[in-house]
Amino acid sequence: MTPGGKALAEFVAEATEILDALGRDLLALDEARGQEADPEHINGIFRAAHSLKGLSGLFGQERISQLAHAAEDLLDRLRLGRLTLDDGVLDTLVDALDTFQALLGEASRTEEGPELTQRTRDMEDRMARLGSPPPAVEEDPLERLELDATVRAVFTEYEEHRLRENVRRGVALWRVRAAFDLTDFDQGLADLNARLKPVGEVISTLPSSRPGGANGIAFDLIFGAKVAAPSLEAALRGTPAELAPLAVRPPQEGAPGPAFDVPRPPPEDVDAELLPPDTDEEAPDEDAEPPGGSTSLATVPVPPIGSPPRMRAVTPPPTVVGLQAAASAPLPAGRPKTEETSLRSLTQTVRVDIGRLDGLINMVGELLLIKANLQRLAETSRQDGTVALSKLFGQELSRETRQLERKLEALQEGLLEARMVPVGQVFDKLARLVRKIAREAGKEIDFVSSGGEVELDKLIVEELSDPLMHLIRNAIDHGAEGPESRLAAGKPRRAVVRLRAEQKGNHVVISVSDDGSGIDEVRVREVALSRGLVTPSQVSEMTRRELLNLIFLPGFSTRASVSALSGRGVGLDVVKNNLGNLSGIIDVWSERGKGTAFHLTLPVTLAIVRALVVGVSGRTYAVPLNSVLEILSVQPRDIRTVERREVLDLRGQTLPFLRLGRLFHLPEHEVNRHFVIVVGLAQQRLGIAVDELFGQQDIVTKPLGGRLSRVKGISGATDLGNRRTVLVLDVAELLEEGIAQERRRA
Amino acid sequence: MKFKVLIVEDSKVSREHIAATVEAVDGVEAVTTASGFEALKLLPRQRFDLIITDINMPDINGLELINFVKKNPNYRDVPLIIVTTEGREQDRSRGMALGAAGYLVKPFQPEDLEALLRRFLKPL
């Protein structure tokens, strides 16, 4: 890579991390719409924008830097309480994140499209225009706080603002002083922070200039407590912390009270303790006046708490209501439709747990030991010259070889594991998207995701994001009904869209489901017929499941047909192809009035697979073992022909049968028995006839270049060692082919 | 003997950029750290000739670090340079008031930093 390319990759990697962090905080804010925002999330987003600005400035990424600057300004106003976080602001931030992602995408390709430049400028303007009148002037609450001016001098503007807010609300303020050993004070402070966070806000952490002994260091934490003194003391029991209240004098006579009352949701379990310490019995040991005691908290409204952990889409703006059911609904003016920017991440990096890497290093160490042993054996045999090698020597050699094999296997496994990432990485991004699409479509959606911890190869996770985005968009746009239609159908007002991942053996099944109106298979049949995708005689024999599967045919789905269908289909054939490239398949289930579910079955990894090596008409092929269910030995007479297609009876079930030789137009010769490899993915099964079975081997599939890459039934080539290169069968495509043959012959 | 410069900055890219700029100057060695806490740990163990610090950091802010250094008889003579992005005048002026020797506004030109190094690390 060129130095420039390397720098760019580094920029993209770090910017991606920043945007991910920003996205997480933004999602948290979005989920808590209508409640008072947690200052930590706003500050998190601010910090992200700030870092992004610095970073992109360093790399000369002007557009990103300028937009980050605008975002930072907006967030700074928010953070410092000069702007209220309302829906408009939140929507702007969500859109800004999209714009950042698009910009980063172009940057990674060293492009600079004029369209995006315009969009960036519009976004900057939009952010600059946002604003609410500043709150009425009042006496600076900080003046009422008895805090040494030298302490105040080290507060950043933000910390000062947080302190001011706490004073204004009459929150009891404390100075928490703790001394630690210099070697591990960060752990001590982390512990202290963990105890303090649930009971209030740590406003600032100040290293004390008074050294805490020879090898120690003392810190002052300025803390706003949500609980009374005894609870705070209880929380700090066992730590070296000493508490001292910071005195606040009451507001001046006649001075206005808080200019605006921002409700702050208290933690559920401390309602009773929310009042400031007001009597001696509750006062801390210190002799000072109870802090904040003179400012009443009684007027602070307590908003409803305990919002459900799932996501709630916000009630759409009035302009959108009423458009809900129509899939082709025009979008409200002034709100451009979400561009389908890819959610795929822009970096090729995988973050690996250091423990895993250490494990790999250990294994390499063990391999080196084995190598030393083998070297010794080689040396011995050379010295012995022509003397026949002893049996003992042979045993030793084979023992070392076995060791080597075991260690190599472990190393391979370890490396594969290092490629694994939780699918939750994509789920988080999709969650953000759901809220946005739902708002645009005027639907009320609860999005529930589970199984985010299931791990898949990084490559697969990346490639999955776009198909999942399509499916989710379909579920919201076409699956879920609008609130009114749902109520009319006797369903709950809010539709549920579920995203679930589950590990099943060597495969991971990811499903996207909704509880909407389902797919009308009668309409599917009509559309497929009218488009000439199937013949009337074919559809007459199709089961409901087969009819539903017609929606994946290329040419089936267009916007027009889909909206008329209350159905689905923004490029479902594309989704299917994407999955095929990952050796995965897609399956649909749907029931009228109850909903639709898409199941994606995927291998856990693509990097190294175990394969069955087989022979057909003198040629050798590899079949990935993860899709092989069983192997049968079949007499020619077991093969029946039903409606001009060959089938096998397998334990009472009819199994479609495919002669590999015939498919690849190889010369066929009479055999007295076939080996039939039964392959299957999800619900589909197929028997593939081969002449010979050679054994199993680990293979790394390499793609075929050029025109060869489009050969049906072949996913790539692999090297079997001994310089033998063989073709690897594409089981998903063969399953396809088997079913297509059924259709053609029907 | 080389001059030793401590760089305290939580953004990796920014940190490395500053370190590269610092090390490009002959006779200067850079020690980097991503947090104020780490800086507090390093201070008693090594002797630094200059400290370059960011202001907005997750654990303690740069102003607190400046204050800590300036109040401590062991380190108070070590000059400090603040690195901020534009628009943070209040933080910057507070830093200067606390005793910082100079500041840089991101994104900066390597020459700007080099000029500061030459001013505070003498004879360079």
Write down the domain spans for chain A: 3-129, 146-253+271-282, 354-418, 421-603, 609-745
Contacts of B87 in chain A (CB under 8 A): 69, 72-73, 76
Least confident of A44-58, A556-570, A668-682, B48-62: A556-570
Model confidence pLDDT, tens digit, residues A38-79: 888 888 888 889 888 888 887 888 899 999 989 988 888 888
- 24-53 in chain B: CB under 8 A from chain A: 36-38, 40-41, 44
Which tokens hold the place of A345? 């991440």
Residue B7 · residue B15 · CB < 8 Å: yes
CB spacing of A209 vs B71 below 8 angstroms: yes
Contacts of A153 in chain B (CB under 8 A): 63, 67, 94, 97-98
Nearest C-alpha of chain B: how many angstroms from A21? 13
Of B56, B59, B71, the CB nearest to A50: B56
Separation of alpha carbons A257 and B79, rounded Å: 45
With CA atoms as reference, the chain A residue closest to B73 would be A209
Nearest C-alpha of chain A: how many angstroms from B59? 7
Pairing mode, if any, of strands A242-245 and A445-450? unpaired
pLDDT for res A260: 40
Q: Is the pLDDT of residue A278 over 60?
A: no
Interface test with A, best of B9, B10, B11, B51 (most A CBs within 10 A): B11
pLDDT for res A148: 78
Considering only CA atoms, give the Rg of chain B. Answer: 13
Predicted confidence band at B79 (pLDDT cuts at 50, 70, 90)? very high
Q: Is the pLDDT of residue B19 over 80?
A: yes
Residue A251 · residue A257 · CB < 8 Å: yes
With CA atoms as reference, the chain B residue closest to A52 would be B11
- The total number of residues shown for chain B amounts to 124
CB spacing of A159 vs B66 below 8 angstroms: no
Specify which residues B53 forms β-bridges with.
B8, B82
pLDDT for res A256: 45
What order do you get walking across the sheet with A645-650 strand by strand? A628-634, A674-681, A684-690, A653-659, A645-650, A639-642
Q: Is the pLDDT of residue A350 over 80?
A: no
pLDDT for res A209: 62
A242: left (phi over 0), alpha (psi -120 to 50) or beta: beta
Is domain A421-603 annotated with CATH 3.40.50.10860?
no
pLDDT for res A379: 82
Separation of alpha carbons A240 and A188, rounded Å: 9
Cα B78 off chain centre by: 10
Give DSSP secondary structure letters for A306-361.
---SS--PPPPPTTTTT-SS-TTPPPPTT-PPPP------S-------HHHHHHHH
Residue A410 DSSP SS3: helix
pLDDT for res A510: 93
Predicted confidence band at B4 (pLDDT cuts at 50, 70, 90)? very high
Residue B76, chain A, CB below 8 Å: the answer is no
- A609-745 matches A146-253+271-282 in CATH topology: no
Mean pLDDT within A175-202: 86
Q: At what angle do helices A39-58 and A157-168 cross, to 10 degrees?
A: 170
pLDDT for res A296: 36
Contacts of A50 in chain B (CB under 8 A): 56, 85
CB spacing of B98 vs A154 below 8 angstroms: yes
Q: What percent of chain A has pLDDT over 90?
A: 7
CB spacing of A157 vs B17 below 8 angstroms: no
Per-residue DSSP letter, A533: S
Of B10, B40, B107, the CB nearest to A217: B40
pTM of the model: 0.47
Q: Is the pLDDT of residue A17 over 90?
A: no
pLDDT for res A306: 38
Of B64, B90, B107, the CB nearest to A58: B107
Nearest by Cα to A196 from A212, A175, A216, A181: A175
Model confidence pLDDT, tens digit, residues A469-490: 888 888 888 888 888 888 888 8
Give DSSP secondary structure letters for A424-484.
HHHHHHHHHHHHHHHHHHT--EEEEEE-TT-EEEHHHHHHHHHHHHHHHHHIIIIISPPHH
Class of the B3-120 domain?
Answer: alpha beta
Residue A568 DSSP SS3: coil
Is domain A3-129 annotated with CATH 1.20.120.160?
yes
Of A14, A69, A217, the CB nearest to B13: A14
Model confidence pLDDT, tens digit, residues A304-349: 333 333 333 333 333 332 333 333 333 344 444 444 456 666 666 7
Q: Is the pLDDT of residue B62 over 70?
A: yes
Predicted confidence band at A268 (pLDDT cuts at 50, 70, 90)? very low
pLDDT for res B124: 64
Mean pLDDT within A93-114: 90
Contacts of A186 in chain B (CB under 8 A): 37-38, 41, 59
pLDDT for res A186: 83
pLDDT for res A425: 82
Residue B65, chain A, CB below 8 Å: the answer is yes
Mean pLDDT within A573-584: 78
Residue B55 DSSP SS3: coil
First to last CA, chain B: 11
Contacts of A150 in chain B (CB under 8 A): 67
Give DSSP secondary structure letters for A573-626.
HHHHHHHHHTT-EEEEEEETTTEEEEEEEEES-SSSEEEEEEEETTEEEEEEGG
For chain B, domain boundaries: 3-120
Separation of alpha carbons B19 and B83, rounded Å: 13
Of A55, A69, A209, the CB nearest to B13: A55
Tell me which CATH code domain A146-253+271-282 carries.
Answer: 3.30.70.260
Q: Is the pLDDT of residue A387 over 90?
A: no
Model confidence pLDDT, tens digit, residues B32-43: 999 888 899 899
Nearest C-alpha of chain B: how many angstroms from A105? 19
Contacts of A182 in chain B (CB under 8 A): 40-41, 44
Nearest C-alpha of chain B: how many angstroms from A240? 18
Nearest by Cα to A258 from A146, A145, A136: A136
pLDDT for res A304: 39
Which tokens hold the place of B27? 């006779």
Contacts of A184 in chain B (CB under 8 A): none
Mean pLDDT within A493-507: 86
Of the candidate CATH numbers 3.40.50.300, 2.102.10.10, 2.40.50.180, 1.20.120.530, the domain formed by A609-745 belongs to 2.40.50.180
Q: Is the pLDDT of residue A712 over 70?
A: yes
With CA atoms as reference, the chain B residue closest to A214 would be B44
Q: Is the pLDDT of residue A491 over 60?
A: yes
Burial of A287 (0-12, 13-18, 19+ CB in 10 A): exposed
Helix (H) or strand (E) holding B37: helix B36-42
Per-residue DSSP letter, A145: B
pLDDT for res A212: 55
Mean pLDDT within A178-184: 83
Q: Is the pLDDT of residue A301 over 60?
A: no
Q: Is the complex ipTM more than 0.90?
A: no
CB spacing of B66 vs A154 below 8 angstroms: yes
Q: Is the pLDDT of residue A298 over 50?
A: no
CB spacing of A54 vs B63 below 8 angstroms: no
pLDDT for res A104: 92
pLDDT for res A245: 86
Predicted confidence band at A663 (pLDDT cuts at 50, 70, 90)? confident
pLDDT for res A508: 86
Contacts of B67 in chain A (CB under 8 A): 150, 153-154, 206-207, 209
Model confidence pLDDT, tens digit, residues A425-472: 888 888 888 887 888 788 888 999 999 888 888 878 888 888 888 888
